Structure 1
Amino acid sequence: MRALPLHLEAGSDVRRSLEQLALEHQASGFVLSVVGNLSRAAFACPGKTAPTLLQGELEIITLQGTLSPGGVHLHLSFSDAECQVWGGHLEHGTLVLRGADLLVGLLDESPSPAAGATQMRPRVEIATLPGCPFSRRALRMLRTLGIPFQEIEATGGGSVPQLFIDGVAIGGYDALAELHSRGELEPLRGL
């Protein structure tokens, strides 16, 4: 593992910055530490269909979770001017106020036997619709488990999400959760 310091300037989107870091380094990892403040926090609370937005001078308390070229899954906690603590899943639109300093641990990947070969498509594909809570849950589960996937925006009136493993339709979120509970998603993990 290598530790990489990351300074975010005022106005930086925290989630986008970490997604970009994982893409630039083509590496998976996790947040080791963070200090800084926010002008706006966007976070998903359990059971809510849309992110919660808070604005003001917000002090970051913790930021933890995983990142990879396929996406991030991060939990944020912060306090407001009254020292009330808030938290949830970090969403796009969380903006740095004056600055934030993070230390990110990137995992050293050992080269695969097919190093240099054409990059294979992920074995999992998921059709989603923006704003669909079950699509968000399925995406969150895939990211949390470290399963590489390709997201496709659904068209038409069918139910979402729809998941495919190696081109075979498995169903929606409930089917994905059932496979996870039986341990059948383990071979799909990228880490």
Structure 2
Amino acid sequence: MRALPLTLAPGQDLKVFLDTLAREQQCSGFVLGVVGNLSRAAFQCPGRPEPTVLEGDLEIITLNGTVSPQGAHLHLSLSDGACQVWGGHLEPGTLVLKGVELLLGVLDQPKVAVAVGSHPVTAPMPAPSTQVSPWQALPSRVEIAVLPGCPWCARALRLLSSAEVPHQVFRVDHDDAFHHWHGRSGMSTFPQVFVDGTLLGGYDALSALHERGDLMQLR
């Protein structure tokens, strides 16, 4: 068994992501641990004809179960803003709010995939201490620093993922992170895109690279 750490980005569907990863890469395993929050949770309660759906700032308490090419069978428990606990069988439509850190135990797989956007690609299994983003395939030439909730950052991430360009994502969600990226780039706006360690620029520079047909060369 290998331990695979994953980071899910804001807006990603937790159930769909795990189903896609396991199906397209033919890997099986189980959840070892999880922390994070959700903007929307869909789960099937016992005896109910339809899934229950909650929206808001929802904190994940537990996620237990298995993933396989036949689909993920997972049970989710979470807390709402009133500290009321909910739970049931995880369903599609469960969306990440700020981020979810997930640790999978992958069984008997010499290689495992980490997803670029919604399109998983094969990559060597990282060491257990390596933090892997679901937007990232190792190795990658592109680094992108993003602000949570920034529409231009979201567009840049969609552009990279649709072009299937491996990239490392860094969330700028506190002052120290902002000062780090400002000091590195001299920019106070986001996203900030680096190629081979050199500043490319923001969304406009990335879009121009795509329009010239040069973005694909970074795969």
Residue 39 in 1 paired to residue 39 in 2?
yes
The alpha carbon displacement at 1:72 in A equals 1.2
The alpha carbon displacement at 1:21 in A equals 1.7
Percent identity over paired residues? 67
Instruction: Give the match's secondary structure for 2:73.
Output: strand
Instruction: Give the match's secondary structure for 1:71.
Output: coil
Show the counterpart of 1:20: 20
Show the counterpart of 1:178: none
Residue 92 in 1 paired to residue 87 in 2?
no
CA distance in 1, matches of 2:109, 2:95: 31
| 1:83–1:106 Cα change, 3 Å | same
What stretches of structure 2 of length at least 5 have no aligned partner?
111-219
Q: Could you report, residue by residue, the CA deviation over 1:62-93 in whole angstroms, capped at 9, with x for unpaired residues?
A: 00101101111100000000100000000000
Following TM superposition, the consecutive aligned residue runs of length 4 or more in structure 1 with deviations greater than 2 angstroms are none
TM-score, normalised to structure 2's length?
A: 0.49
CA distance in 2, matches of 1:9, 1:109: 25
Show the counterpart of 1:103: 103
CA distance in 1, matches of 2:102, 2:24: 16
CA distance in 2, matches of 1:64, 1:44: 14
Residue 52 in 1 paired to residue 52 in 2?
yes
Q: How many residues end up aligned between the 2 structures?
A: 110
RMSD: 1.2
TM-score, normalised to structure 1's length?
A: 0.56
The alpha carbon displacement at 1:24 in A equals 3.5
| 1:107–1:56 Cα change, 3 Å | same
Residue type of the alignment partner of 1:54: L
CA distance in 2, matches of 1:44, 1:76: 10
Show the counterpart of 1:64: 64
What stretches of structure 1 of length at least 5 have no aligned partner?
111-191
CA distance in 1, matches of 2:82, 2:23: 37
